[in-house]
Amino acid sequence: MEDGGNVYKIGAFSATVKEPLWMIAPIFVVGVICIAGAVIGLLMLLPWLWFAVRGRLRERGGLFMRIAPLLASAALGVTMVIPIMAFSASGTSAVHQIADIGPTSIGVMIASVLLPLLALAGLVLAIRAAGARTIVRAYVIAHSLGLLAVSAYLASIGWFAVRTWTM
């Protein structure tokens, strides 16, 4: 939250805590990288699929290198959006979907594991794909690094292999 030109975060018990810009800027940059990477990946999905069907991506890193960060973004969405929707719903049935062992809670757990694995796979494949264009490699590396930063933060707060039914 911003007040009088200073940036504050809302802490425990609704207390505001002033945060310096050098601590806020990396969070903003990672967020922009993840959102821009997902948008670019969605826009490029059809051309990549077209070239993959024609066989033109095999010697250029392959299709999986290009869509691994996009799949990791989808896993991030599942990991974060489903619990947020359940906690913000007005009824208790949505909370029970993630509080009990079932398809929804197991889906969140699987997505929280796939997020760093897919991001790491995209990063490794982009580094190893010498035949891929530089712009594609740069996109995959930047998007994968942004997603790995998010997954490292989520792991630090206990959201790796999260079992929502034990919370």
For the chain, the structural domain boundaries read 25-166
| CA 124 vs CA 33, 49, 61, 141: distances in Å | 18, 21, 11, 8
What are 27's two structure tokens? 């969070």
pLDDT one digit per residue (tens) for the chain, 167 residues:
666 677 666 665 555 566 677 888 888 999 999 999 999 999 999 999 999 999 888 888 899 999 999 999 999 999 888 888 877 776 677 777 777 788 888 888 899 999 999 999 999 999 999 889 999 999 999 999 999 999 999 888 887 887 777 76
Tens of pLDDT along 35-59?
A: 999 999 999 999 999 999 998 888 8
Entry pTM: 0.81
